[in-house]
Amino acid sequence: MNLEQLNAVAIKMVTPGKGLLAADESTGTIGKRFDSINTDNNETNRRDWREMLFRTDKAMQDHVSGVILFEETLYQSAKDGTSFVDLIKSHGSIPGIKVDMGAKPLAGRPGETITEGLDGLRDRLKKYYAQGARFAKWRAVIEISHPGYADGVTPSAGAIKANTHALARYAALCQEANIVPIVEPEILMGGFHGIQTCQDVTEHVLKALYIELWEQGVELEGTILKPNMIVPGKRCMVQASVEEVAERTLHVLTNCVPSAVPGIAFLSGGQDNIDATAHLDMMNKIGGFPWKLTYSYGRALQQSALFAWKGDTANYDAAQAAFYKRAHMNGLASKGEWDASLED
């Protein structure tokens, strides 16, 4: 492990004004996105969609520090034969790779999941590094149940332990391969729970995570955290202001995340595009924390571009303009310089 190299990559990933483009949707997930625009989910369309994003030069150069890729995409090339890895690197951006195999039911814990993919990961990481990947991502999924859930309240201690332990083992393997691990413990926001419940659960999970990372010998200077923001569930009757989300999120991160971590790149978690930008911006306006705060957004960067594209290459200009706008807005938010008037 070359910690100096890992730290340099991690710092570049959270360059002020830039963030991560999460273009790592699985074949099934991108199929659902394509369904929304009546586009066939085939390899050609997946390639064309992602090439359009990667060729949005100003967005990539000015506001994208790294791109999280699905395995298929890591090995794909653009229409002209340029590998996607080389295309991404030509903009000064870093190629990364999603390495987990998805969340599966956790035995003995109805309604909870464990993310799989550790078997064979050491060998896969060597291949990914040789292909040009310099960081990786692993997502753990933690769900807060409705109070009336028949099988008990989730998340359980067992599910938190299993998922944070897997994240730590993954991170150690990444660093062994000189790949920066993004550790992503996502508390899902789809439930009825209030913002205090989200805060309590997130704090519990993050504290458990950093114990596991320490026990597995992970060097925090060579990692990036990708957490959820502290928000109420989407079906909660009481929603929160931008200020409350920012203040509660910073409170949890200050309590849980060591200052050795170079940066925190938030997931959007299904937030509205503008909300995801506004929350990030408010945190950076408040300031006073030791890490860089930026974005690692998928849908919140891509959705407006997807609807503009509609599966038709004739719409590339409109799609690229939509992608640039979201990248630009979030780039400003990563420096606390965004304003709602800029969205007009």
First-to-last alpha carbon distance for the chain, in angstroms, is 47
- Look at 153 and 135; give whichever has higher pLDDT: 135
Q: Which of 51, 184, 186, 212 is catalytic?
A: 184
- pLDDT of the residue at 270: 86
d(CA 182, CA 167): 9
**226 noted as active-site residue:** yes
State whether residue 289 is helix, strand or coil.
coil
Residue 265 near residue 13, CB atoms below 8 Å:
yes
**221 noted as active-site residue:** no
d(CA 114, CA 162): 7
Domain that holds residue 287: 3-343
**Residue 279: is its pLDDT beyond 60?**
yes
**Residue 10: is its pLDDT beyond 90?**
yes
- pLDDT of the residue at 249: 98
Structural domains of the chain, count: 1
Return the CATH number at 291: 3.20.20.70
d(CA 316, CA 323): 10
- pLDDT of the residue at 150: 45
**Residue 239: is its pLDDT beyond 60?**
yes
Q: Which of 12, 137, 226, 292 is catalytic?
A: 226
Residue 262 near residue 292, CB atoms below 8 Å:
yes
- Compute the mean pLDDT over every residue in the chain, rounded to the nearest whole number: 95
Quick one: average pLDDT of 162-182? 98
